[in-house]
Amino acid sequence: MRHQLNWNQLSLLNYKAHNYTDTSTKAYGKKILKLKGLRLKVLEFLQSQSSTNFEIAEELEMTLSSVCGRCRELQLLKLVYDSGKRRKTPNGATAIVWQAKPNK
């Protein structure tokens, strides 16, 4: 089941992923549309099922580092949260299981 985002949630996807230096701001400007698209892709996936970064990366065919960044942004935007559950990763460590906040 695919959840639709409301306007309030879509506006939250505008999290500025840069540190306000001239080089960071310029690089961000070049990547903003891609980042927002990936952020939305990860959010929609988490709305369908709670998952670890590894699981998200595998399912969406994204790099693990990109998924980690998008999950952190979504966490800061309060759109996803740590479910308190952990699952084993391919390398034997444990990973956070992310869960999307329910639409209101």
Rounded-to-integer distance, Cα 44 and Cα 41, Å = 5
Share of the chain above pLDDT 90, in %: 61
78, pLDDT greater than 70: yes
- pLDDT of 2 > 90? The answer is no
Q: Does domain 7-100 have CATH number 1.10.10.10?
A: yes
* pLDDT tens, residue by residue, 61-74: 999 999 999 999 99
- Gap between the Cα atoms of 104 and 9, Å rounded: 10
pTM: 0.70
Q: Which residues contact 5 (CB under 8 A, 6 or more apart)?
A: 40, 43, 44, 103
Q: Where are the domains of the chain?
A: 7-100
Name the residue with tokens 């230096």.
21
Mean pLDDT for 32-46 is 84
Cβ 96 vs Cβ 49: under 8 Å: no
